[in-house]
Each structure stands twice: as structure tokens, then as C-alpha cells.
């Protein structure tokens, strides 16, 4: 999963949230049906939804932790190398300015 890009991870999380919401809606719609097979299906679906929610929360917590670590690393680098950081910022600003000016 480390090979997935940020956009792919966001799409995956969005898709998982939609699946969980759809499954919850299905559970609500079938609440009145009391056949044996429906009851078994409902129980399995509830267990799988619980597992999916837990996995989704874990994935979100890991992503948040990694983002915070990256932010701290960038902050440490800027504090350790202030002039290099200013030069990089100026270079990026100049490139963006040139690209905007060409249009």
C-alpha cells in the first residue's frame, strides 16, 4: 500500500466510506425482514462493516501520523538550513512567476 499515491489513497478512503454508508443503508432497509437467511446475512454484514470502519479509522490515523511526521521533518530542515530554504522558496517563486508571465 506504500506504493499508492496520495490521490489513490484519498479515492480508496472515499470509496470505502461510500461502501460503508451503502451497507448501513441496506441494513436499515432490511431491518423488518426476519427470515433466517436474512438474519445471518445481516449479522455477517454488521461484522464486516465494523471491521471496515476499524480499518478505515486505522488507515486515517496512520495517514495523519505520517503527515505530521513529514511536517515536523520539513520544519526541522527549515530551522537547520534557513538560507537554503529561502533560496529554494525564491527559486520556486521565480519559476511560477515565469510560467504565469508567459501566458
pLDDT of 28: 75
Give buried/exposed letters for 28-43 (b at 16+ CB in 10 A, else e).
eeeeeeeeeeeeeebe
Average pLDDT over residues 50-77: 86
Indicate whether 41 pLDDT > 90.
Answer: no
Indicate whether 2 pLDDT > 80.
Answer: no
pTM of structure: 0.51
Residues of the chain above pLDDT 90, percent: 29
Place of cell 486505522: 58
Average pLDDT over residues 67-92: 91
Indicate whether 98 pLDDT > 70.
Answer: yes
Amino acid at each position: 500500500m506504500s506504493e499508492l499515491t496520495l490521490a489513490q489513497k484519498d479515492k480508496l478512503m472515499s470509496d470505502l466510506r461510500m461502501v460503508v454508508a451503502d451497507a448501513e443503508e441496506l441494513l436499515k432497509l432490511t431491518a423488518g425482514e426476519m427470515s433466517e437467511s436474512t438474519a445471518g446475512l445481516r449479522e455477517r454484514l454488521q461484522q464486516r462493516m465494523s471491521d471496515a470502519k476499524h480499518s478505515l479509522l486505522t488507515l486515517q490515523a496512520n495517514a495523519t501520523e505520517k503527515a505530521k511526521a513529514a511536517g515536523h521533518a520539513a520544519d526541522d530542515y527549515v530551522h537547520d538550513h534557513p538560507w537554503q530554504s529561502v533560496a529554494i522558496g525564491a527559486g520556486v517563486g521565480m519559476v511560477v512567476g515565469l510560467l504565469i508571465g508567459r501566458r
